[in-house]
Amino acid sequence: MIITGASSGIGLACAREFARRGASVSLGARSADKLEEIKNEFTAKGYQVSITPTDVSNENDCRQLIEDTVQAFGKIDILINNAGISMRALFKDVELEVMHRLMNVNFWGAVYCTKYALPYLLEQKGSVVGISSVAGFIGLPGRVGYSASKFAMHGFLETLRTENLKTGLHVLIAAPGFTASNVRKSALTATGSLQGETPRSEDKMMSAEEVAVHLIKAIHRRKRTLVLTFLEGKFSVFLRKWWPSLVDRLTYKVMAKEPDSPFK
């Protein structure tokens, strides 16, 4: 199996949980140093692991990740498109290059990896997973590039699922909700600089390790969609179908309460 964005957060938690359960894991991330540390950790525990430094916005890197995985393990049965970046700025303020970066990583990264892994996944009747967010169901103010990229991922994966109704390919869209994860600290500002510390308290957020367990269960059950947390996740997505104008107002109110919110 392959996990992108595997050097921290949900990606690393998934890698550890899958490996602990006996899976052979192929890990892609930008940081070669962190990948080496993880490889040493896994090897010491007797886990089967392959690593490939990967910037998912680079098509050739994605192709290499797939080739390395097949060379190491001979097959691919699960691909978890987890690599992603976030942002925090209003559209009127954001530089368009920031929008491009969000789309290149969050959308095109999933497209590239899925494209090259697909022949092997079809052989195994395997699973393609996109790690999304409630931002892929509801447009979040101040997260315009993030929501746009996740909506695009949803459209891509839903179409892929329909195209493969008769092939046995499983496609899962997973929306963890607000999770204590490094992706929040590496969010981009309007100019593309790093946000730094997250504006939200992470004390009551779901941990990356909890997300990994839920994700494994959803893959095993071959679910179509996994939405975690109740109020900010399942209930919001449900309410959006029946009372979208109310969800717009509630979303605006909630996001405006963030410290240093770009709008009030």
Q: Average per-residue pLDDT in the chain?
A: 92
Sign of CA dihedral 46, 49, 53, 55: negative
Structural domains of the chain ordered from first start? 2-234 (3.40.50.720)
Cβ-contact 14, 215 below 8 angstroms: yes
Specify the pLDDT at position 196: 62
Cβ-contact 122, 115 below 8 angstroms: no
Specify the pLDDT at position 111: 98
Catalytic annotation present for 112: no
Residue 139 DSSP label: P
Specify the pLDDT at position 194: 80
Q: What is the pLDDT along the chain (264 residues), one digit of tens a residue?
A: 999 999 999 999 999 999 999 999 999 999 999 999 999 999 999 999 999 999 999 999 999 999 999 999 999 999 999 999 999 999 999 999 999 999 999 999 999 999 999 999 999 999 999 999 999 999 999 999 999 999 999 999 999 999 999 999 999 999 997 655 555 567 898 888 886 665 555 556 789 999 999 999 999 999 999 999 866 778 888 888 899 899 889 889 888 888 888 887
Helix/strand/coil for 104: helix
Specify the pLDDT at position 232: 73
- Global pTM reads 0.91
| Rounded CA separation 52/238 (Å) | 39
| Rounded CA separation 248/227 (Å) | 19
Specify the pLDDT at position 264: 73
Specify the pLDDT at position 101: 96
Specify the pLDDT at position 93: 95
> What are the Cα distances from residue 221, in Å, to 215, 224, 226, 264?
10, 9, 11, 42
What is the enclosing helix (H) or strand (E) of 216?
helix 208-220
- Rounded to the nearest 5°, which phi and psi values hold at 195? -65, -40
Catalytic residue among 47, 112, 116, 146: 146
> What are the Cα distances from residue 108, in Å, to 81, 115, 158, 161?
10, 10, 15, 17
Which amino acid is residue 9, in one-letter code?
G
Angle subtended by helix axes 32-44 and 9-20, to nearest 10: 20
Specify the pLDDT at position 83: 97
Residue 165 DSSP label: T
What is the enclosing helix (H) or strand (E) of 226?
strand 225-227
